[in-house]
Chain A
Amino acid sequence: MEFPILSLMLAVPLAGAIACLFLGAQAARMTALLATLINLALGILLWMNFEIGGAQWQFVERAEIFAGFSYALGIDGIALMLIMLSVFLMPICVLASWDAITKRVGEYMSAFLLMEVLMIGVFAAQDLYLFYIFFEAGLIPMYLIIGVWGGDNRIYASYKFFLYTLLGSVLMLIAMMWMVNQAGTTDIPTLLNYDFDPSAQTWLWLAFFASFAVKMPMWPVHTWLPDAHVQAPTAGSVILAGVLLKLGGYGFIRFSLPMFPEASEQFAWLVYILSMIAVIYTSLVALVQNDMKKLIAYSSVAHMAIVTVGLFAFNVQGIEGAMMVMLGHGLVSGALFLCVGVIYDRLHTREIARYGGLAINMPKYALFFLLFTMASIGLPGTSNFIGEFLALAGIYKVSTLVTLVCTTGIILGAAYMLYLYRRVAFGEQKNADAAAMPDLNAREWAMLAPIAAAVLWMGVYPESFLAPMRQDIAALEARIARAAPDFDADNVIGTPREHNANYVAAAHGEEGAH
Chain B
Amino acid sequence: MHPILLIVFLPLLAAIVAGLTNKAAPSIFAKSITTGALFVSAALSWPIFLGFVGGTYEPTVVPVLKWVQSGTLTFDWALRVDTLTAVMLVVINTVSALVHLYSWGYMEEDPDQPRFFAYLSLFTFAMLMLVTADNLVQMFFGWEGVGLASYLLIGFWFKKPSANAAAIKAFVVNRVGDLGFMLGIFGTYLVFDTVSISEILAAAPGMSGATIGFLGYNVYTMDVLCILLFIGAMGKSAQLGLHTWLPDAMEGPTPVSALIHAATMVTAGVFMVVRLSPMFETAPIALGMVTFIGAATCIFAATVGTTQWDIKRVIAYSTCSQLGYMFFAAGVGAYGAAMFHLFTHAFFKALLFLGAGSVIHAMHHEQDMRYYGNLRKHIPLTFWAMMMGTLAITGVGIYHLGIGFAGFWSKDAIIEVAFARGTELGMFAFWMGVFAALLTSFYSWRLMFLTFWGKPRWIESEHIQHSVHKTPEQAGEDTTGGYHPHESPISMLVPLGVLSIGAVLAGQIFAPTFLDDAAFWGSSIFYNEPLIHAMHAVPYWVKYSALIVMLIGLFVAWLAYIKDTSIPAKTAEQLGPIYRFLYNKWYFDELYHYLFVVPAFWLGRQFWKLGDVGTIDRFGPNGIAWVVEKGSVGARKFQTGYLYSYALVMLLGLVAAITWVLF
Q: Chain A: residues with CB nearer than 8 A to chain B?
A: 159-160, 163-164, 220-221, 223-224, 226, 281-282, 284-289, 315-317, 320-321, 357, 359-360, 363, 374, 379-381, 385-386, 389-390, 392-393, 396-397, 400-401, 403-404, 407-408, 410-412, 414-415, 418-419, 422, 425-428, 460-463, 466, 470, 474, 487-497, 499-509, 511-514
Contact = CB atoms under 8 A, between A and B. Distances in A.
A501 B183 contact: no
Given A504-B421, A512-B539, 5 more contacts: A316-B70, A321-B70, A491-B221, A500-B284, A513-B537
A461 B601 contact: no
A502 B530 CA distance: 6
B538 A508 contact: yes
A505 B161 CA distance: 53
A411 B175 contact: yes
Given A407-B182, A427-B158, A379 B148 contact: yes
Contacts of A315: 71
A493 B607 CA distance: 44
A359 B187 contact: no
A393 B67 contact: no
B186 A392 contact: yes
A426 B164 contact: yes
Contacts of B603: 284
A427 B284 contact: no
Contacts of B175: 410-411, 414
Contacts of A494: 209-211
B574 interface: no
A489 B530 contact: no
A224 B624 CA distance: 14
Interface string B197-212: 0000000011111111
Interface stretch (B90-98, B137-145, B253-261): B137-145
Contact of A288 (B281, B333, B539, B601): B601
Nearest to B147: A379
Contacts of B212: 489-492
Contacts of B612: 223, 226, 285
A435 to B, nearest CB: 12
Interface stretch (B100-108, B471-479, B614-622): B614-622
Query: Which of B137, B164, B539 has the most chain A CB atoms inside 10 A of its CB?
Result: B164
Nearest to B173: A411
A392 B67 CA distance: 18
A401 B284 contact: no
Interface of B: 22, 65-71, 73, 77, 137, 140-141, 144-145, 148, 151, 155, 158-159, 161, 164, 167-168, 171-172, 175-176, 178-179, 182-183, 185-187, 189-191, 205-216, 220-221, 281-282, 284, 333, 419-423, 426, 526, 528-531, 534, 536-540, 543, 600-601, 603-605, 607-608, 611-612, 616-617, 620-621, 624-625
A502 B531 contact: yes
A401 B145 contact: no
A492 B211 contact: yes
A393 B185 contact: yes
8 contacts: A163-B625, A281-B607, A287-B601, A386-B68, A393-B185, A463-B68, A507-B422, A508-B420
B497 to A, nearest CB: 36
Contacts of B624: 163
B159 A389 contact: no
Given A223-B616, A504-B421, A403 B183 contact: yes
Contacts of B161: 427
Contacts of A411: 172, 175-176, 178-179
Contact of A497 (B178, B206, B209): B209
Listed from nearest, the 8 A-B pairs whose CB atoms lie closest are A505-B422, A512-B537, A316-B71, A396-B186, A284-B604, A288-B604, A380-B141, A494-B209
A427 B70 contact: no
A223 B208 contact: no
B215 to A, nearest CB: 5
Given A160-B621, A493-B210, A508-B419, A404 B164 contact: no
A508 B422 contact: yes
Contacts of A379: 144-145, 148
A282 B603 CA distance: 10
Contacts of A288: 601, 604-605, 608
Contacts of A425: 158
Contacts of B77: 460
A490 B67 contact: no
Contacts, number: 241
A289 B601 CA distance: 10
Contact of A461 (B66, B538, B605): B66
B145 A381 contact: yes
Contacts of B536: 512, 514
B68 A505 contact: no
Contacts of A505: 420-423, 426, 534
B528 A396 contact: no
Contacts of A381: 141, 144-145
B531 A504 contact: yes
A490 B189 contact: no
A458 to B, nearest CB: 11
**Of A428, A500, A512, which is in contact with the most chain B CB atoms at under 10 Å from its CB?**
A512
B165 to A, nearest CB: 8
Contacts of A392: 182, 186
A473 to B, nearest CB: 9
Contact of A284 (B144, B182, B607, B625): B607
Given A488-B216, A499-B208, A514-B537, A422 B141 contact: no
Nearest to B191: A491
A412 to B, nearest CB: 8
B329 to A, nearest CB: 15
B620 A223 contact: yes
A501 B621 contact: no
Given A316-B71, A490-B213, A415 B600 contact: yes
Contacts of A408: 179
B172 A414 contact: yes
Contacts of B140: 380
A514 B538 CA distance: 9
Contacts of A511: 539
Nearest to A419: B168
A281 B611 contact: yes
B155 A426 contact: yes
Q: Which of B69, B182, B281 has the most CB of A within 10 A?
A: B182
B116 to A, nearest CB: 14
B66 A463 contact: yes
Contacts of A407: 179, 182-183
Nearest to A226: B612
B528 A502 contact: yes
B182 A489 contact: no
Nearest to B182: A407
Given A357-B159, A380-B144, A497-B284, A404 B183 contact: yes
Contact of B68 (A289, A466, A497): A466
A506 B530 CA distance: 11
Contacts of B159: 357, 360, 426-428
Given A393-B73, A393-B189, A410 B179 contact: yes
Q: Of residues B159, B191, B211, B281, which shows the largest number of chain A Cβ atoms within 10 Å of its Cβ?
A: B159
A422 B530 CA distance: 53
A511 to B, nearest CB: 5
**Among B145, B284, B529, residue most surrounded by chain A Cβ atoms (within 10 Å):** B284
A512 B284 CA distance: 26
A307 to B, nearest CB: 15
Nearest to B138: A380
Contacts of B611: 281, 285
Nearest to B214: A400
B531 A220 contact: no
B473 to A, nearest CB: 32
Nearest to A409: B179
Contact of A422 (B168, B426, B625): B168
Contacts of A513: 537-540, 543
Given A461-B66, A511-B539, A390 B73 contact: yes
